[in-house]
Every structure is written in structure tokens, then in C-alpha cells.
Structure 1
Amino acid sequence: MKLSRCAGAFSALVLTAALALTGAGTAHADDGGATPAYVALGDSYTAGVGAGSYDSSSGSCKRSTKAFPALWAAEHAPASFAFTACSGARTGDVLSGQLGPLNASTGLVSISIGGNDAGFADTMSTCVLNSDSTCLDRIARARAFIQDELPAKLDGVYSAISSRAPHAQVVVMGYPRFYRTGGVCVGLSDTKRKAINAAADHINSVIAKRAADHGFDFGDVNTTFGGHEICSGSSWLNSVTFPVDESYHPTATGQSRGYLPVFSSVA
């Protein structure tokens, strides 16, 4: 999720900002080491969209060598590393195109998923380009989906992971709050910022509950992103930027100092 210094001039291009194209990833294996085999699943927050240094073979999935799974694998040298996370992925895309590398020898799995199912991109563009009331209405619809429909979709993915990799530790990564609230933030009112943050907290609470019920671990990245939200003056998240698909996503620093420490502490 980049609102460049919360600048005020937003064009219609913002309508396409956020979690880009959907598609299935291709596994990349790296033999060696005694650390158990690791598979990284999910959406653009795991793929590393917004961090740059994309693997050219990953195409529109935009998997980055600066994403936290790649950084962790480089440090720990797992027996194998399969990176199938993809920009724009929804729960159905994980089920249909990302689970191939999982097997009984998989020892570690990470996943971030659910934001695209809840309409993240449309919600953000609606809030950037429209009034407070229109923004709040769109967030309310997203939160209704998160509460009523997302849990079953997450259950489907989590059950499939357990079935294919029954011995793996599974770490479900959450999403950061986007904005610093209070004070001046050019481009978005405090009302919008607070509502967007509350929606992020809501989806995290649902994801954490479903993860716990499946015996998975949850990584709360707000512990590291606190003080580094958009409009904080030291943001680890992109604001509206070009390419627009990198908007509202962690920077390379957000991956290395926001996501990686949380994942490492759990894994």
C-alpha cells in the first residue's frame, strides 16, 4: 500500500493504485542448509511490491529480492525456498496457483492474504478521491465483507495448507496501519485516516482469529510499523506513487525493518 508525503494533487490514475495484477507464481528453489524447507505464499505484501528489485522471471507478480521471505531465506539458508506469492492475489488465487511446492517435508510456511478479497484497492482509491462520507461508506462495505465472508475464505486456504504441509509451522502475517492520525496530513482528512486504520485493525483481528483456530502463528507488524506510517515523517509505506500498483505498499525498509523482524521472531 505509497501516498507520497500525502501530496494533494491526485489524478484518476489513483483509481488503479494498490495491489496489482492477479496471477499464479512460479517456485524458486535454493538447495542447501539444515533449516527446513520454506514456502512463501500470499499477496503483494509478501511478494514485496513497493520494495523494488523485482525478479524478472516473476512477471506481474513482482516478487522482490528485498521482500521479507527472500531476506529471511538468504540469512537462514533453508533446505529449499519456494516463493509463490503474487501481487493482487486473493484467497482463490492461492488455492489455484500457489500451493504446488507444499508437501510433507515443508517445515515453514508464511502467508499474507485477505486484503484483496476485501477490496483494498477500490477502498483506497475511493477514499483518496472522494468525500469523507463516500469513503466511510466504502469502508463500511469492506468491513461487512471482512466480518461476514472473509473468515470462510481464510479457512479454505488455511485448511488446504495444513492438508498439503501437515508438519509445517505456518506464520500468517498481518497488515500495517497505513496512517499517522492527528495533526496535518495533506490530502486525507483525519476522519478518513482513522477509518482506514480501523479497517486495517479489523481485518487483522479476523485473520489472527482464523489463524489461531487453525493452530497457526500470527505476525503483528504494527509492533514494528508504529511511528512509520504514512504522514509520520518517517514512513516505511509508499503513498500514492508511480507505478501506481506500488502505492500503499511497504518500501524496502518496510520489508527489512517492518516485516522481517516480526517474521523472524515468530519463525
Structure 2
Amino acid sequence: MKRHILTSVILACLGLAACGTDSPVPGSAPVDVPVPTYNYVALGDSYAAMGSTSAETTGPDYCLRSSDNYPAGVLSDAQVTGLDATCQGAVTADLLRPRDAGSEIIPAQVDALADSTDLVTLSIGGNDIGFGDIAGCFLMAMHTRQASNCAAAWEAPVSARVAELPGRLDEVYRAIDERSEGARVIATGYLPLLAPGERCAEVEVLSDTDRAWVVSLSEDINRVVAEAAARHDAETVLPAAAADHTGCAEPGQRWVDFLGWQTGAFPMHPTPVGQAVMAEEVLAQL
């Protein structure tokens, strides 16, 4: 992987200083240790693109690329320069090929990569398994207050899509490596909407079967994402405390939200707080 390293001369000087006396050499100047910098590109779907509903957006209007999403948080760091190429609704194919959004054509996200790119974040896979269908089923139950039956309708097709996802992710990683060989890639996991055994007023209308299914599905996709990253010598970031900050947490503590109206988030997506936490996790990894 590309690394910004000190020259051998500076390393030698530091080594000599460490082996010398405890007192500084009279008249010696302090050694300036350069801070690593990164040329960064963010790739991915709405879990990366969409922050608060009130934030300004950048890039194509269709993408809902928020100015307070986690890529923006990473780009705000002095170590990082680059761009955000994320777009809501993206599947793996949209990273590799142009996307017809009706009123405009969205370029393939990997076209944002270059030889000079040495840091990439990647949030992809949720839409490949049908996240929109799943979220829509749960939201319909929540709005109508009629008991859900989402697993019965969607478990079989979603399981088939999960089985196909590793191959699709491998294709994405190969495309990243072709355009930015040696770049450091950090795959960001999906913040879970619900923790095991968790109940709250917002999800009371969901059946026990559906609650258990959405938990297992979150675990499945994050496992597939992490395994794909490992196959391609990439890293994975998912905040350790994510299960304590689901849509059932107090509004100010939610990193994701079911309906979004209490947190300024889009339904079934990360909250502004969740996006900020993910940015912090990525920067801590650096």
C-alpha cells in the first residue's frame, strides 16, 4: 500500500537521537516530522452519501450527497484532500459503469479514482441485496400500524442476493486496484437498525420474526463486506458501540433512525451523529 514515509536521512537522525544522551545537542534544531497526507476518494451508496435532510448537497442532485456525511467529515481533516463520489441508491454496478438516473447520467464512481489516489472508503452492498425493498416493507408497517410480514415476502430473494454479493464486491475491488494500485481501501460497515432482542415503541408493530430477521441480515451483510475487504487486503470500519445506538436509542444517541423526524435523518439511514461517528472511526484508522 502507498505510504507517506520519512526519508532514510531523517530516520537515521531520529535513530541517533534515540541512542544518544538524554540532553539535547546544544544548538541543534528540532526535527520536523512530516504529517502523512492522503489523496482520498469516497465511493458508495446512501449510507455514505446521505446525512441530515437539511444539509446542503454536493454533486448531482439525484445523489443526495450531503455536506455532513462521513466522507465530508473525513475530507475536513487537514491530512486529507480529495472528493466524494458517493450516490444514493448505488449498487456495485453503479461503481463500475455510468448510471442512467433519468434526468442525468451519473458517471461510474470508479472514474473518480486516479493513480494518485491513495485512500478510498467504500460503502456498498446494501442495495445489491434489496435494502430498499426491505426498508419499504418495514416502513409500510410502521406507517399503517399493521403487523409486518416482511421476512416471509423477502427472505428468499434477499438470501439469494447475499450469496451473489461476494463476487460483485470482488469485481469492485479489482476495479479500484486497476485505477489506484496500492491505494489504502477502508470498507465501512452498515450501522445496524436494531440490536438482538431489542424492542421499542417504533418497532412494536414489527413481528418477532421480522425483528430477528433484520438483526441477522445486518450481521450477514457486514460479514460479507468484511470478508471481501480481507480478501483484497483492505480494512473494515464499524464502530464497536453501534449496537447501543440503533433506532431504538434515545433520539440524541441514535446513529441510525427508522423514521428520521426526531433526528433530521432520512428514514432507515444514518443520522447526522452517526455520520460524524463514522468519519471519526475512519480518521482514527489513519
Task: Tell me which interval the TM-score lies in, with the shorter structure as reference length.
Answer: 0.7 to 0.9
Correspondences of 1:24-173 after superposition (within 5 Å): 35-50=37-52, 52-78=54-80, 80-96=81-97, 97-129=108-140, 132-147=148-163, 149-173=164-188
> What SS class does the counterpart of residue 269 from structure 2 fall into?
coil
* Gap change, CA 1:45 and 1:52, over 3 Å in 2: farther
Query: Are the counterparts in 2 of residues 50 and 238 from structure 1 also a CA contact under 8 Å?
Result: no
Q: Which runs of 5+ in 1 are unaligned?
A: 1-32
Instruction: Provide the identity percentage.
Output: 31
Indicate which of 219, 222, 230 corresponds to 1:201. 219
2:123 and 2:175 map into 1 onto residues whose CA distance is 15
CA RMSD across the alignment: 2.3
Query: Are the counterparts in 1 of residues 191 and 255 from structure 2 also a CA contact under 8 Å?
Result: no
Query: Are the counterparts in 2 of residues 66 and 255 from structure 1 also a CA contact under 8 Å?
Result: yes
* Equivalent residue number for residue 253 of structure 1: 273
Asked which structure has the greater CA Rg, the reply is 2
Q: CA offsets, 1:98-142, max 9 Å, x none?
A: 112212211100010011111101012224446554424413421
* Equivalent residue number for residue 21 of structure 2: none
Q: CA offsets, 1:165-191, max 9 Å, x none?
A: 012100011101111433443332343
Query: Are the counterparts in 2 of residues 237 and 248 from structure 1 also a CA contact under 8 Å?
Result: yes
1:213, CA displacement in angstroms? 0.5
Indicate which of 226, 239, 245 corresponds to 1:228. 245
**Letter of the 2:243 counterpart:** G
* Equivalent residue number for residue 174 of structure 1: 189
Query: Are the counterparts in 1 of residues 51 and 68 from structure 2 also a CA contact under 8 Å?
Result: no
* Equivalent residue number for residue 264 of structure 1: 283
1:238, CA displacement in angstroms? 2.3
Query: Are the counterparts in 2 of residues 123 and 139 from structure 1 also a CA contact under 8 Å?
Result: no
1:58, CA displacement in angstroms? 3.1
* Gap change, CA 1:51 and 1:216, over 3 Å in 2: farther
Equivalent residue pairs, number? 230
Q: Which runs of 5+ in 2 are unaligned?
A: 1-34, 98-107, 142-146
* Gap change, CA 1:256 and 1:145, over 3 Å in 2: same
> What SS class does the counterpart of residue 118 from structure 2 fall into?
strand
2:84 and 2:127 map into 1 onto residues whose CA distance is 19
Q: CA offsets, 1:208-229, max 9 Å, x none?
A: 11111011111123x1322110
* Gap change, CA 1:227 and 1:34, over 3 Å in 2: closer
**Higher relative contact order (CA closer than 8 Å, sequence separation 6+):** 1
Farther off after superposition, 135-144 or 104-113? 135-144
Query: Are the counterparts in 2 of residues 136 and 195 from structure 1 also a CA contact under 8 Å?
Result: no
**Letter of the 1:71 counterpart:** G
* Gap change, CA 1:159 and 1:199, over 3 Å in 2: same
**Letter of the 1:227 counterpart:** D
> What SS class does the counterpart of residue 160 from structure 2 fall into?
helix
Query: Are the counterparts in 1 of residues 198 and 248 from structure 2 also a CA contact under 8 Å?
Result: no
